[in-house]
Amino acid sequence: MDFIKRYFGADFPRAVLFDLDGTLVDSAPDLAVAMDTVLTRLALPVVGEERVRGWVGNGAKKLVHRALAFAVGQAEHQISDHRVDSTLALFLEEYRQTNGCYSHLYPGVVDALKVWRSHGVPMAVVTNKLVEFVPTLLSGLDIDHYFVALVGGACTSQKKPSALPLLHACEVLNVPPETCLMIGDSCNDVQAARAAKMPVAAVNYGYNHGEPIAGSHPDIVVGSIFDLVRR
């Protein structure tokens, strides 16, 4: 709470924006099952959940690109756009079946959402994931009713680390960016918040390509989202 008061001059920000994968939800198991199923269909080696965890955060196409490069033993620039696009189509087909099947919420998420909602703080999800997958995932985990806006990877012309998705969410919520708190797990979230002139908190349990999030210099690093509302 000291962090909140220091940056917002009050007990609560005007609004809170959340990244999804690696921040609210551990969705790597769903993504890994879908990815490995596709690779098996293509007679390629599977990559496994731990590698997928290191590749999450830049959208489905980038995940597929990284997995393909690893599976065929080539650099990413050696994989043709056509091959990436055709594999992406297969991945999305599989992910529609696995989305939400193995995911789980991180500890403290629901308790924090309850506190913010009880104090009238509007909340939004801002993710690089295609927005078509977001409602199913949130509703399956019974947290969809906490959010008044969803901004997905194709909702603006640029994804995070651009500021555009965050600024779009602020427009929807009708709040100035500097009065919002962004919470994420990756350098993309921190960079997007910085570009939007928005305070940013980072969780230390997310994906972030295997790198400690403290190295991206968020305003605060926490072990649980609930730490931000704990009195």
The DSSP annotation for 78-128 comes to GS-HHHHHHHHHHHHHHHHHHTTTS-EEPTTHHHHHHHHHHTT--EEEE-S
Tell me the β-bridge partners of 18: 125, 183
Q: Kindly state the DSSP code that residue 211 receives in the 8-state scheme.
A: S
Q: Is 21 annotated as a binding residue?
A: yes
CA 195 → CA 125, 189, 218, distances in Å? Answer: 18, 10, 12
Peptide bond into 199 cis (omega under 30): no
Kindly give, in sequence order, each residue whose CB lies less than 8 Å from that of residue 73, ignoring residues fewer than 6 positions away.
none
For residue 171, what is the DSSP state?
H
Q: Among residues 11, 19, 85, 219, which one is catalytic?
A: 19
- Cβ-Cβ contacts under 8 Å for 9 (sequence gap 6 or more): none
CA atoms of 138 and 134, how far apart (whole Å): 6
Q: Known catalytic residue: 19?
A: yes
Annotated binding residues for Mg(2+): 19, 21, 185
Residues annotated as catalytic are 19
The annotated binding site is made up of 19, 21, 185
